[in-house]
Chain A
C-alpha cells in the first residue's frame, strides 16, 4: 500500500494560513520541495503532520504556542489530506483534521474516511494503517533535526527502535510483561500456604510493587525526556541563529567543541588502555613480577609439583614398594599418612598453570612498552581539562556578546541541555545492572532503584518460592515461555536487520557515485558502515544522508506500507556534488518525498531534481512582509499559480521558486497585505 500526502491546509496557527496541494502531478515517485524562509513555519508544519498522523494530542502549553500572533480569533485548524493506493489501482482518500481551541487549550480531532460520510469526530485511522501510526513509526519517515546522525550514532539505538516499531517487535516485548502479570495474578489467588511460603510471598509481592513503582518512574522519565528533547529540537534553530549571528564566535565555538570531543575520545582511549594494562598483575610493578618469578623459580627448585598424592595411594595398595620391600599394613598406614602432604593431581594442574602463566606473562611484558601509558593518560587528562576550560570561557563570552533577549534564549537552552543530561542520567540509573540480585535481595526493596535489578531479584525470589511451595513447574514453564519470546525477539531482529541491510545496500548502490566503497555492514542498535567487512566511523554528509534514506525507505517497503519521506532541510549539510547525486536518484528510492528547504539548499539539488524527476512540485511559501515586496511584485499573474492569504503567500510556479532568495529580514516587519 502506498500512503501519499496530497496536501494540507492551515489557518490561525503560527505558520502562515495556507492551502498546499501536490495533486498537480501524479502521486507516484513524486518529489516535492517546499521552500519556506527561516521563521516561516517549516518545523510547525512538520510537527502538525506528525500530530495528525499519530492522533496524539499535545500538552496544553504546547497547544497554546501554536496560536498565530495575528490570529484575532481563538481557534485554528490544520487539515492533512492523504491518499491510499491499494491493489488494482484503488485509491482511497483520508483527511485528518485538527481543530485548535486556544481558550481551553485543546485539540479536537476529526476524520473523513469517505466523502459520503463526511467528517467524523475523533481520530480514526484505517485498520491497515493503525499499527504504524504511532510516534515511533512516524519518526522513521519524518526526518527532523539530527535524525541522520542519530541513525549512525553508536551511542544511540535509533535504527533498532525503527525496526522494532515497524515490525511489531516492540509489542512482542510487551507480551513478556503480560506473561508476568498472568503469573503474578495466579500467585495471589493460589491455594493455602505454609507460614514460610506466606512470608516469602509477602516479600515477593512487595518486590512486585517496587517494580511497578520503578517502571512508572521509568515511563515518566522517558516521557519527560521525549518532551524536552522535542523542545530542544524546536529551540535549536533559535539557538543556532544566535550563534551564527556572532560569526567569529561561531567559528571558534565549532572549533573548541570539536577539540573537546577529540580530547574526550583521547582520554577515553588512554584510560581504557591504562585499566586494561593494570588488570594484568604483571604490569603493576616490577616487584610483583619479581615476586611471582621468584615463586616460580622456587617451585621449580623444589620440584613442585612433584609426585602426586595419587601415586602414593596406588603404591599403598601394592604388595611391594618400588624399592622391592614388602608393604605390610603398617607400611601402608605410614605411606597413606605421609602421602597427605603431597599434592593431588588437581593441585598439580593449578601449580603448573601458575608457573606457566608466570613465564608467559614475564616473556610478554618484556616485549611491551607500557611505561608510556601513565604519561599518555596524564597528558590526555590535562588536555581535556584545558580544552574544557577554554570552551566554558568561550560560552561565557558568547553570552556576554549577546543581547538581553538572546541571553534569555541562551540560558533557556543551557537549562534544557542540563535537564536532558540529568534525565538521561536518571534513566541510566533506572536501567543500571551493576548489583547482583543476591546483594539487592538482601536489602529492602525500597533501596533498589533499578528496574533491571528489581526484575532479577523477583526472578530469584520466584524461584525460591517455587522451590518451597512445589510450584516449580509453573515457574519454570513461565520462564521457558519468556525465554522463547526473548529468543524470538533476538532472532527476529537478526533476520529482519539482515534483510534490511541487503535492501538498503541495493538502494545505496543506485544513489552513491559508482565505485564508492561504502555500504551498511550491519544493523544493530545503529547502522554500522564500512566496506568489505572493515568498518568506518563516519561518512561524508552526502553519504550519511543517502544511507539514512536508503534505510528508512527499505523499512517502509519491507513493511508493505509505504509512507512518504518527509524531511526538514534535506541537503543543508551536503556539498553541491553530493546534492546533485541525491537529486539524481531520490525518485528511485521513495514513492513520495517532501523536503522543506530554504533558498540556499537549491544549489546543486534543484537542477538535478528537475532533470531526474517527472513528478516534481516546487512550492514557495513566505510571509508578505515589507522586505518581501520585490517578490510580491514578481508573483505570476496566473491566480492558479499563486494564492495570497491574510498572512501568507503560496506560489507553485517553478520559475518563482528558482528565483526566490530569502532576504533575511528583521523581526516585526509589517505585512503589506
Chain B
C-alpha cells in the first residue's frame, strides 16, 4: 500500500535533516511495507540491517 505523499515528504525531510538523504528511499519502502503488514519480523530485521549499512556508508 502506498503511503500518503505528505508522509513521503516528511520522511525525505527527516532524512535530509539527519544528513542521510540517500537513505530516504529505503526508509520509505520499509515504512510502506511495514504499514501494509507485508513484512515478517525476520524481513524487518534484514531491511533494518541494510539501512544501517547505508547509514554507516553515508558517514
Contacts and interface: CB of A to CB of B under 8 A. Distances in A.
**Direct A–B contact in the complex, CB atoms closer than 8 angstroms:** yes
A185 B48 CA distance: 13
* 10 tightest Cβ-Cβ pairs between the two chains A and B: A491-B10, A487-B14, A495-B6, A492-B10, A168-B35, A171-B35, A492-B7, A488-B10, A484-B14, A488-B14
Given A167-B7, A168-B7, A495-B9, A481 B55 contact: yes
Interface of B: 1, 3-4, 6-7, 9-11, 13-15, 17-18, 20, 27, 30-31, 34-36, 41, 44-45, 48, 51-52, 55-56
Given A481-B52, A492-B10, A178 B34 contact: yes
Interface string A517-558: 000000000000000000000000000000000000000000
B11 A488 contact: yes
Contacts of B1: 131, 168
Given A487-B14, A487-B17, A477 B7 contact: no
Contacts of B14: 484-485, 487-488, 491
A314 B7 CA distance: 60
A463 interface: no
A42 B37 CA distance: 35
A172 interface: yes
Nearest to A484: B14
Contact of A473 (B20, B41, B51, B56): B56
A477 B11 contact: no
Given A182-B44, A488-B10, A477 B55 contact: yes
8 contacts: A167-B3, A178-B41, A182-B48, A477-B55, A484-B15, A484-B27, A485-B31, A491-B14
Contacts, number: 82
A484 B56 contact: no
A223 interface: no
B55 A499 contact: no
Interface residues of A, number: 31
A133 to B, nearest CB: 13
A647 to B, nearest CB: 42
Given A484-B15, A484-B20, A492-B10, 19 more contacts: A167-B3, A168-B1, A169-B7, A171-B34, A172-B34, A175-B30, A178-B41, A182-B45, A473-B56, A477-B55, A481-B52, A481-B55, A484-B18, A485-B14, A487-B18, A488-B7, A492-B6, A495-B6, A495-B7
A477 B48 CA distance: 10
A492 B28 CA distance: 13
A496 interface: yes
A483 interface: yes
Nearest to A127: B1
A167 B48 contact: no
Contacts of B52: 474, 477-478, 481
Contact of A477 (B27, B30, B36, B56): B56
A209 interface: no
Which of A174, A179, A484, A487 gathers most chain B CB within 10 Å?
A484
Nearest to A490: B10
A489 B14 CA distance: 10
B32 to A, nearest CB: 9
B17 A172 contact: no
A179 B55 CA distance: 15
Contacts of B3: 167-168
Nearest to A487: B14
A236 interface: no
A173 to B, nearest CB: 10
A317 interface: no
Given A167-B7, A483-B18, A499-B6, A185 B35 contact: no
Contacts of A171: 34-35
Contacts of A492: 4, 6-7, 10
A107 B21 CA distance: 50
Nearest to B31: A172
A175 B56 contact: no
Contacts of A488: 7, 10-11, 14, 31
Nearest to B1: A131
Interface string A157-194: 00000000001110110110011011001000000000
A265 B7 CA distance: 39
A179 B31 CA distance: 12
Nearest to B32: A168
Contacts of B27: 481, 484
B48 A495 contact: no
Contacts of A172: 7, 31, 34-35
Given A172-B31, A491-B10, A495-B10, A480 B41 contact: no
Given A495-B6, A495-B9, A175 B51 contact: no
Contact of B13 (A169, A481, A491): A491
Contacts of B15: 484
A478 B56 CA distance: 11
Contacts of A483: 18
B49 to A, nearest CB: 8
A496 B6 contact: yes
A559 to B, nearest CB: 8
Contacts of A487: 10, 13-14, 17-18
Contacts of A131: 1, 35-36
Contacts of B31: 172, 175, 485, 488
Which of A168, A171, A489 gathers most chain B CB within 10 Å?
A168
A182 B52 CA distance: 12
A131 to B, nearest CB: 6
Contacts of A474: 52
A499 B10 CA distance: 14
Nearest to A181: B41
A474 B55 CA distance: 11
B10 A185 contact: no
A432 to B, nearest CB: 28
A480 B55 contact: yes
Interface string A494-506: 0110010000000
Contacts of A496: 4, 6-7
Contacts of A485: 14, 31
Contacts of A182: 44-45, 48
B9 to A, nearest CB: 6
Nearest to B24: A484
A174 B44 CA distance: 12
Nearest to B5: A495
A178 B17 CA distance: 23
